[in-house]
Amino acid sequence: MLESVKIKKVFQKDVNKICISIGVFYAIIGLFSIGMIKLQELMTTTFKTSTDERFSLYQDTLNDIWYTYMPLMFVLGLLYLGFGLFYKKITTDKYLINLVLSIMSIAWVIGYTISSMNNADILFADLGEDKYLVYGFAGFGYIIVLAIFTIPQYIIGKRIKNIEIDKKNITQK
């Protein structure tokens, strides 16, 4: 039977299990998002409903953003999955690999945020005064996404660093 996953439990696991969890999460979100875009395109071409020009522009803008960033999220998930699966076999600097993956994750969040904010006029043009509320929620959402993309990397990096320090201390004795 499936049991609920608690974030605190996930972060108490081994580094490789955390990386595998993150990789699966990123890959599933990336694939799910790509699938949503494809389904949406299939529905609009199949049912050929006449849509408002503004809505079509909005939909195309969101699709362009997701077509750019969600495959990258999927690839990032696969990289984390590979790092987690081969963690014990990797002999090079694991901390450096984690640092590169962390930088890629942060670059993804920054790129996604900038791309979304550059298109905010298209996405939120018809909202009038309510657009400031939407900007507030969007800002909160970006902070959450940044936390989801940085906190696990910090925890992984800290654990790897501690493991490396412990190994050096053992070999020096």
Predicted pLDDT of residue 51: 64
How many whole angstroms separate alpha carbon 122 and alpha carbon 55? 10
Q: Are 125 and 74 in contact (CB under 8 A)?
A: no
Helix (H) or strand (E) holding 111: helix 94-118
Mean pLDDT of 23-44: 90
What's the whole-model pTM score?
0.79
Residue 94 lies inside a defined structural domain of this protein = yes
Residue 1 lies inside a defined structural domain of this protein = no
**pLDDT confidence band for 170 (50 / 70 / 90):** confident
**Secondary structure tally for the chain: helices H, strands E:** 6, 0
Residue 26: half-sphere exposure toward Cβ, Cα within 13 Å = 30
Q: Are 70 and 112 in contact (CB under 8 A)?
A: no
Residue 2 lies inside a defined structural domain of this protein = no
Residue 133 lies inside a defined structural domain of this protein = yes
**pLDDT confidence band for 76 (50 / 70 / 90):** very high
Say which residue, 50 or 87, is predicted with more confidence: 87
Mean pLDDT of 101-125: 83
Residue 160 lies inside a defined structural domain of this protein = yes
User: Radius of gyration over alpha carbons of the chain, in Å?
Assistant: 20
Residue 106 lies inside a defined structural domain of this protein = yes
Say which residue, 22 or 11, is predicted with more confidence: 22
Residue 3 lies inside a defined structural domain of this protein = no
Residue 92 lies inside a defined structural domain of this protein = yes
Domain count of the chain? Answer: 1
